[in-house]
Amino acid sequence: MKPTVRAAFFLTLFLALASCDLDDGPVAPDYGPEVSVEEIYRAMENLYRDSDPLQTKVGAFVHFRTTDTIAGGQLIFHAADTGHTVVRRVESECITTFHIVEKRYTHKQDGTSDLLTRELELPFQTSSSGSCASTDAVTPKALPTLKLTSDEPVRVTFHYLREWETRGPAPEAVRARPQGNPNCLGIPNCELTYRHVSFDLVYWDSPHGSLTRLEYVTSPDIPQISGFNMAPIFFYIPGLFKSCLTQMMPLGDGDLETLVTECQEVVDFTYEAEPNPTPTP
């Protein structure tokens, strides 16, 4: 089954360890030198190497926007706006759990929006001794993944791994907040550190394979609950600022395809409670 940009993207890095024989057929395209799955894990873990999600305060808030870009920018559609607010922190012997209220506005082509409000839990394992040795919680310093399944084993390869770091302005909504936060939430020069990782993933569901380009950007300077329920593969990446997935998608029932990119990007955040956080319809 070919992965899709929406939630039907049934693929994880764990599939890289499975393989199957391909039928004879056309020569496969040259996707460039392969990169090992171990290198992908190393690069992803480096994105949040000094993250400490447990320092997140009750009231911390992140607003990220989902944008679909079609045919190289000929059509751009803001598909959704999602706000996550930490409303409660619960401590136990083994686990610290953040309770997060999610407000998600899904936008329609006619200009209206549907609102979904729900409370989610993000648990962290804070002890591994005794009875705490095995839980389903996230370990703050380990890469948590969403273990999905595919219909049958397929081979997955990785290519063109890139890593770089930049400095750049905070989101416009953070820079524009004048009341109570005249100094951009205390962020020096209103600039953030951004860590980038991108790579190509080839899903060998046919002799020629299908390519998906993935890009992840994190920042140690934003609330580290950002990245929860935000990336197409990973359940949670601490401090995720932006994730993008690009691939060719079919047009209707025919053989034509077009390039589609779906991105989730943080457009606003606060470190603690604000009176009127976004998003709004």
Ranking 38-52, 174-188, 243-257 by mean pLDDT, the lowest is 174-188
How large a percentage of the chain has pLDDT more than 70?
77
User: At residue 10, does pLDDT exceed 50?
Assistant: no
Q: How confident is the model at residue 168 (pLDDT cuts 50, 70, 90)?
A: very high
Position 109 confidence tier, pLDDT thresholds 50, 70, 90: confident
pLDDT in tens, 253-268: 767 888 999 999 999 9
Measured distance CA(281)–CA(276) in Å, rounded = 13
List strands edge to edge, sheet with 34-35: 34-35, 155-169, 191-204, 210-218, 240-250, 257-270, 61-70, 75-91, 95-107, 113-125
What is the arithmetic mean of pLDDT over 235-239?
87
Mean pLDDT of 150-154: 58
User: Is pLDDT larger for residue 12 or for residue 246?
Assistant: 246
Q: Do residues 3 and 9 make contact, with C-beta atoms less than 8 angstroms apart?
A: yes
Sketch the domain layout of the chain as residue ranges: 32-130+143-224+242-270
Stronger pLDDT, 151 or 234, i.e. the higher one: 234
Contact 47, 163 (CB under 8 A): no
Predicted TM-score (pTM) of this structure: 0.81
The CA-atom distances, in angstroms, between 38 and each of 16, 17, 41, 107, 157 are 10, 11, 5, 38, 12
Least-confidence region, from 34-43, 73-82, 250-259: 250-259
Assess whether pLDDT exceeds 50 at residue 101.
Answer: yes
Q: Would you say residue 233 has pLDDT above 60? A: yes
